[in-house]
Chain A
Amino acid sequence: METKRYFRFFTIADYEREQKWLNAMSRSGWNFVRTNGFIYTFEKGTPGEYIYKIDLPNDSMTDVEVDAYYKFMEECGIEVVSSFKFWRYLRKKSADGPFDTANNTMGQLLMVNKAYGMATKMLCIMIAIFAIIIMALNIAISFVNGIAAEFMSGMVYGIASSAFLAMALIMVPIIQRLRSRMNELIDEIQIKG
């Protein structure tokens, strides 16, 4: 099987763009098969045979519910081709018709809401990890004395806090973008119902 690999990175807020790219690749005869978040592998196939959709399970679902959800998808002719973290890459034969009505605002809103939930959850986890590191550091400092220990703890503190700052600088704009997309769709839904 002839394959092609691409190196790409999409943030949580870019799944619509990512989905468009996968569908464009499919139209030119390259079927997406898997990703590890950076490397996307495609297999040569018939142009336009499949359509792709990126999905997230609802974060309130248990593992059993998530399994039932994707089993139901499979019963509807939808294949889960690949998964990366919480993301699921779905595809179906384009001959069987689209995933849903074009410009389904409610569907888009539900999806943004799930992505927003995931992004905020990630930020919360990052804050928790940072708090634990600082706490552990403070406890460690209380047991040791001396310039070397102070230097070491200062260094760990510096690294931890700059890593945290970098992550926050990346995550906050992503969350803001998802939030504004959500508001856009909510405005639309007031009219479209």
Chain B
Amino acid sequence: MGENTGIVLTEAVYYILLSLTKPLHGYGIMQKIEEMTDGRLIVSAGTLYGAINTLLERGWIVQHATAEDSRRKEYVITAEGRTVVVKELERLRELVANGEAIL
């Protein structure tokens, strides 16, 4: 846990983790992020591919035991991944609070 403190997530990773609270395959993640950000953020397939592999290695997401469509791999967030996003959310709150207090 201690090793996760002070991690600043990239926007892409933050949204990938958020979109995986429900199991999704790669293309689903892309669409979900586009939908959540109203098309502002479009994560490229290349970025997503690299991010998924890194997140799997770190144990922040796992491959979901696939149900209907077995051709595509599905992924889902782990408890550890959730902790990371919650921490990031706290950091973002601090950013917003400081900005609002001053401006």
Chain A residues close to B by CB (< 8 Å): 55, 69, 72-73, 75-78, 97-101, 104, 106-107, 110
**Contacts known (A99-B44, A100-B42); A75 close to B10, Cβ less than 8 A:** no
- B88, CB-defined interface residue at 8 Å: no
Choose from A55, A75, A97, A98 the contact partner of B46 (Cβ within 8 Å): A55
Whether the Cβ atoms of B42 and A97 lie closer than 8 Å is yes
Question: In the complex, are the beta carbons of B42 and A98 less than 8 A apart?
Answer: yes
Most A CB within 10 A of own CB, among B26, B30, B45, B47:
B45
Chain A residues with CB under 8 A of B48: 72, 76
The reply to whether A100 and B47 contact each other, CB–CB distance below 8 Å, is: yes
| A106 proximity list for chain B (CB < 8 A) | 10, 47
Cα separation A69 to B27 with both chains bound (whole Å):
13
- Pairwise interchain contact B72-A69, C-beta atoms closer than 8 A: no
Cross-chain contact A75 with B26 (CB below 8 angstroms): yes
Closest residue on chain A to residue B45 by CB atoms = A76
Contacts A75-B72, A106-B10: A100 and B44 contacting too (C-beta < 8 A)?
Answer: yes
Query: Hey, which chain B residues are within 8 Å of A73, CB to CB?
Result: 45-46, 49
The residue from A69, A77, A98, A100 contacting B49, defined by CB atoms under 8 A apart? A69
Are B40 and A101 in contact, CB atoms less than 8 angstroms apart? yes
Min CB gap A74→B, angstroms = 9
Identify the closest chain B residue to A73 (Cβ): B45
> Could you tell me if A107 and B26 are in contact, using CB atoms closer than 8 angstroms?
no
- A58 nearest CB neighbor, chain B only: B50
Q: Which listed residue, B25, B40, B42, B44, touches A75 by the CB 8 Å rule?
A: B25
